[in-house]
Amino acid sequence: MASLARNAEASLSKLLSRPWNRASSRHQPPATVSATLTRKKPVEDATLDLNSIASQNLDHAHARRLVRSAFTHLQQQLDHPLYKLVPPGIRTEEWYEINFKGQEVFCKSWMPKPGVRIKGSVCFCHGYGDTCTFFFEGIASQIASSGYAVYAVDHPGFGLSEGLHGYIQNFDDLVDNAYEMFAKIKVGYWQEDLR
């Protein structure tokens, strides 16, 4: 906690030490900036190790991946119909593709059980602050059980993909990334699955 406070203080110092544009600040006093650090509440019924993992800074993919791997078994035990009613035999696959910016982008597929003819494909793009590996898991399984191949990607900066968490520098890049990832899936996986 002390190192977190030192880092926040150093960042604040660096911000405040930047030279001000004298022309624009001539009639305005310098801004006052304050920061409050709070300790995250521990996860109920979790071990000390799991709480240590859960308190990670999730700005970067490696920490988000660590938290996901530590809590996957708990997620699957949630008392929620989307997890309790998962049809048997659904095949899933997870992998990473490198996008046009050189970032690892997390991809996942859900397929009907073997022997079921695939009717078509569904490509899922999550919204801001979401991921393709939490609540969509149950929905994707239900869609796959109806005979559809389901593909999803975590946008850069979300879920298990690389990038600063929640940061979208340019919306066009987000669209280009989704287009590129689904084009790769179509060429590499989709054609095999639809045979």
Instruction: Assign residue 163 the CATH number of its domain.
Output: 3.40.50.1820
The reported pTM is 0.69
Domain assignment present for 56: no
Domain assignment present for 148: yes
For the stretch 118-138, pLDDT in tens is 999 999 999 888 888 877 888
Number of Cβ within a 10 Å radius of residue 111: 20
Domain assignment present for 9: no
Domain assignment present for 120: yes
Domain assignment present for 5: no
Q: How far apart are CA 54 and CA 52, in angstroms?
A: 5
Number of structural domains in the chain = 1
Measured torsion, CA atoms of residues 128, 129, 134, 138, in degrees rounded to the nearest 10: -30
Domain assignment present for 31: no
* pLDDT score for 70: 81
Query: Which structural domain range is residue 145 located in?
Result: 81-193
Domain assignment present for 115: yes
Domain assignment present for 129: yes
Which residue positions in the chain have pLDDT lower than 50?
1-2, 4-5, 7-8, 11-13, 15-16, 18-26, 194-195
Are the CB atoms for 147 and 172 separated by under 8 Å? no
Token output for 21: 């544009």
